[in-house]
Amino acid sequence: MKRCFVRLITAITAISAFLSCTYREVDAPFTTETEESVVPYYEYRFAIEESETKATLCDDGVFWEDGDNVGLFAGPGYSRQAPVDVTTNPKTILLSSSVPLAAGTSVYSYYPYQEGNGNAADTKITFAAVQKGGARSAMPMVGIPFQVSEGDGSSGIIRFRNLGSIIDYKVFSSNYAGETVRAISFNVSEGTNPISGEASLDITGVSASNIDLMELGWPAGSSVVSSVKLTQSGTVAATKDGAAASHMYMVVPPGTYTGDFVVVTDLATYTFHTTGKVFARNGLKRFNLDLDKAVRTPEVVYSLENQGVSDYLNAVEANPYTPNDNNSYIETYAKYKSSTNRLDLPQPVPVSWSTPVSSATVSVYNDADLTDEVEMAYVTTTTTSADIYNLIPGRQYWYVVSSGNTRVAEGHFRTSGRRRMIRVAESPSGFQYANNCRDFGGLPTIDGRTLKYGKIFRGANMDRTSSNNQLAFIKNKMKVELDVDLRYNQVQQASYDGSYMFNGLGLDQIPTKDADTYVGHTQETYNSIDDLTNHDNMGATLTRIMNAAINDKVVYIHCKVGADRTAFVCLMIEAVLGVDPLYCDIDYELTSFFPSLDGGTYRKRKDKTNSWYYYPRGVERINGKTGTTFQDRAVNYVTSTFGIPSSKIQAFQEAMLETAPLSNE
């Protein structure tokens, strides 16, 4: 079918001519009887003339789709959803009733169906604030009412007219061609109507003679709503002509508006100012957006690394460790850690807004549609700003700031960094809380893959993590279901120094050698290198962790401070997954940024000064096995020493490894 947008808007859309009545003994949709009642059921089915109707905007026309629903009023008290049936030829909509409709009954219709509409004289019509191109309708429509007749199937024609105005964007540039379009927004500063939101309409007053005079009712004081956002992926074309310059359609209420068109790509934001533009009902207005003529603001990129961690990682990148050297840079960069200079926490992303609010809610999303919220985002706020923690490096994020029902601000940004360090809610300084916490995700493997985010975390113990916010964050945001507690002694209450095991999350206890149970709190017995290399106990610990990951359960691994016993277990996991030995060393040394680590000592990759420095001893044991790579030797060590079958390791690898670098591009 050829493109027909102007014709589509100005032409009358016909829903034809046939009406069928069927008597059935089924449950009635319009009755207050119990489910056991059996009542007559009548169907009134109307054919749709596909060539002129519209449900979803796309380049080739607008067509009804499976899942579309028309709202129908059939006389007083009859209001229902009428699904579009795309399996029939022609396609149809269906009106059902528990009683036959008398001849002369008025039928009113609108699209799309909106739950809560019960009165044709006060129909609620929504112009979406966020519209998704090519996927769903954003065009509210209303049908000219008709009266039901009986017998010959000529009961009337529903003729739909568009209540809104369509904007047709074409985005191009000679300088920035090839960038990926994420979204287009129309941000309004002045307008005769709201630019989005819910309006009301008296459908009973609509007729063929006054269809173009329909007046939408808007709530008092709602003359300007800030924006409409269209999320649709596309490519910036080199010119406005040709197939590459695809159409992007937005639907707005009719009116006169002054504001900005804002195009967001993967690399920048482009702003065009427009004044007093008129948008007519049933109209289409095209805007050719030449990005060369816009105000260009490059995408803001925030590093998630605090200064100490960033300087340390830069030093290792400049002069990488090798398996045979004894170098360590950690002491140089971790010496500035303190309870007030928390170098074990991520650097937050700052956002701000101009109008102070007493209580701001900041929501962060993975997508421009604002549908995939980042649950692990932890936000602290003032009246005009917020800090956002726990994001993933190398991602693009969108955010919305709200105060009550008012949207205060919105925007987007990118992140950079090399590790995802975690702030666990308030995260007070101290080793009795879930501090020194980081995600395994993003660790690179020797074959060029990375570990998945959000599956395994390591950190300090949680004995004093007793506030509702912290517990809720670990359970509901981090989604931890397996608490791997590696401490030796078992008590029923939190100890003052974190030395004794305590079930901080209150999960069900798991017996020491129960490898098959992977949801709960473990009862481990590790207090020496001999304990950590015990065949039965460590075999159960590693198997339990692998089972949790395979079954998509989130794991938190810790001992007292997350330094030594934790380091040994994490080394085994990282090594069998194929993490490069360099990054295993870095992961171990990052614990040195924890201010509560043994009164300020450091963990250096080759340091075996103390008997409880288990990480370098674990590396020695792995390298004592045969194998071409560090991963080969690790798999050999884990299978031979702890009895874990290679099939389990393979399933664990499949559950934990990305096949390609993770991105939300």
Return the HEC string of 505-566. Answer: CCCCEECCCCCCCCCEEECCCCCCHHHHCCHHHHHHHHHHHHHHHHCCCEEEEECCCCCCHH
Element of type H or E holding 476: none
Check pLDDT > 60 for residue 5.
Answer: no
The angle at the Cα of 441, spanning 438 to 446, to the nearest 5 degrees, equals 120
Please report where in the chains the tokens 């008290």 appear, as a residue.
Answer: 77
Q: Do the Cβ atoms of 161 and 201 come closer than 8 Å? A: no
Check pLDDT > 50 for residue 183.
Answer: yes
| pLDDT attached to residue 17 | 29
Q: Do the Cβ atoms of 294 and 271 come closer than 8 Å? A: yes
| pLDDT attached to residue 43 | 64
| pLDDT attached to residue 663 | 53
pLDDT band for position 498 (cuts 50, 70, 90): low
Check pLDDT > 90 for residue 519.
Answer: yes
Please report where in the chains the tokens 């020797």 appear, as a residue.
Answer: 446
Higher pLDDT, 65 or 608: 608
pLDDT band for position 52 (cuts 50, 70, 90): very low
| pLDDT attached to residue 7 | 26
**Helix 565-576 vs helix 535-550: crossing angle, to nearest 10:** 60
Q: What is the pTM of this model?
A: 0.74
What is the chain's mean pLDDT, rounded? Answer: 83
| pLDDT attached to residue 28 | 29
pLDDT band for position 149 (cuts 50, 70, 90): low
The helix/strand/coil state of 168 is strand
**Segment 623-631 long-range contacts (CB within 8 Å, at least 24 positions apart):** 623/323, 629/446, 629/578, 630/323, 630/446, 630/575, 630/580, 630/581, 631/445, 631/446, 631/575, 631/576, 631/577, 631/578
Which region among 98-102, 524-528, 567-571 has the lowest average model confidence (pLDDT)?
98-102
Which residue in 665, 658, 623, 664 sits closest to 443, CA to CA?
A: 658
Please count the CA atoms within 13 angstroms of the CA of 327 that sit on its side-chain side: 15
